[in-house]
Copies of this chain bind each other. A is one copy, B any other.
Amino acid sequence: MRELSVTLAGLHLKNPVITASGTFGYGLEFSRYGDLKALGGICVKGLSLAPRQGNPMPRVAETPCGMLNAIGLQNCGVETFVRDKLPFLPWRDTAVIANLYACDAEEFAELAGVLAAEEGIAALEVNISCPNVRAGGILFGQDPAMAARVTEAVKKRAGIKPVMVKLSPNVTDIAAVARAVEAAGADILSLVNTLSGMSVDVSSRRPRLANVIGGLSGPAIKPVALRCVWQVCRAVDIPVIGMGGIASAEDALEFILVGAHAVQVGTANFLRPDFAFRLVEELPPLLERLGVSSWEEFRGTLKV
């Protein structure tokens, strides 16, 4: 299989490997470990209108086959990103995807407006796995109606940029959220964000995260992520980008097999900083071995 590229809702990726938001910095941190141009896409750390400091330390904890984080969306703010980071990313070759975080629909829309104007941004990824501060802390992504409202607001201001909505797995019925977001105009869905989790130290009797609760990611969550992607792919007609625990080329193909068009790799970038670059190189021989001749021939062909 020679042709690794894939286009979804106008978003062109030279290969289906995207680095996940919050695990690849602003991209430049990894230029020492591989050629950023080789990646299909780079999702940058969640951007907010104003810079944010995030949560107190400790913010990360290791767990069996995974990790917890409660970074709290520390970021340099959209303005600094656009001015100081974006110009140095190889955005003509690799899709740079802006991950958006805001506290209400209006702020999301404003953020989308700023980014819609940037040539270097290939798509917007709306992170709705965060509390709606106005609605008493329930996550946007946990309520289909709220998720739809944010989607609409962003969509109105996104201009020609494809809008990708990133779903939370911490829900009773992820297909219902997916359908609501699709109906609200989303072009692409990405999932899953982290699972809500917690870890404590029995000696000190303290939580391992200052924030007490954080997000679980890494291989531990792959079965849950894959189930979510499978359910969502069957529920919607728009393309889906799958993620959650991918730590090998086989893992990546599992998500394509259940219906995803592309994948994001997150925590695995911490296993080794050249992980995503190696993944891109490992895909062709694996596809060869599996006798796959095109994405169309493989995607969503799980035999059930």
Chain A residues close to B by CB (< 8 Å): 63-66, 68, 142, 170-173, 195-200, 202-207, 212-213, 216, 219-224, 226-227, 230, 245, 247, 250, 253-254, 257-258, 290, 301-304
Contacts and interface: CB of A to CB of B under 8 A. Distances in A.
A88 B197 CA distance: 40
Nearest to A304: B212
A142 B176 CA distance: 14
A254 B202 contact: yes
Contacts of A303: 204-206
22 contacts: A63-B223, A64-B247, A66-B220, A66-B223, A170-B172, A172-B172, A195-B223, A197-B223, A197-B224, A198-B223, A198-B230, A200-B254, A200-B257, A202-B253, A202-B290, A203-B290, A205-B257, A205-B301, A205-B302, A205-B303, A213-B227, A220-B223
Most buried by B among A196, A220, A304: A220
A199 to B, nearest CB: 5
A226 B258 CA distance: 30
A142 to B, nearest CB: 5
Contacts of A66: 65, 220, 223
Given A170-B172, A206-B303, 5 more contacts: A63-B222, A199-B222, A200-B257, A205-B301, A216-B224
Contact of A258 (B200, B221, B253): B200
Contacts of A200: 226, 254, 257-258, 302
Contacts of A173: 142
B224 A196 contact: yes
